[in-house]
Amino acid sequence: MKSLILASASPQRKKLLKDLGVSFKVMPSKVQELKDITSTCSALVKHNAGIKAEDAAKRLKEGIVIGADTLVYAGGMDIIGKPRNHRHARQMLRGYFRKAHWVYTGVAVIDAQTGKKLIDYEKTRIYMQPLT
Please list the pLDDT of the chain residue by residue as tens digits (132 residues). Answer: 889 999 998 999 999 999 999 999 999 988 988 777 677 889 999 999 999 999 999 999 999 999 999 988 876 656 777 778 888 888 877 777 777 889 999 999 999 999 999 999 999 998 877 776
| Residue 77: per-residue pLDDT | 59
**What pLDDT, on a 0 to 100 scale, did the predictor assign at position 82?**
74
Burial class (CB in 10 A: 0-12, 13-18, 19+), 36: exposed
Burial class of residue 79 (count of CB atoms within 10 Å of its CB; 0-12, 13-18, 19+): middle
Domain chopping of the chain, boundaries: 4-127
Active site residues: 69
Angle at the Cα of 89 (from 87 to 92), degrees rounded to 5? 115
Q: Does domain 4-127 have CATH number 3.90.1660.10?
A: no
The pLDDT, as a whole number, for residue 73 is 85
**pLDDT given at position 24:** 97
Give the start-end residues of each E strand in the chain. Answer: 4-6, 25-26, 64-73, 79-80, 100-111, 117-127
The per-residue pLDDT for 17 is 95
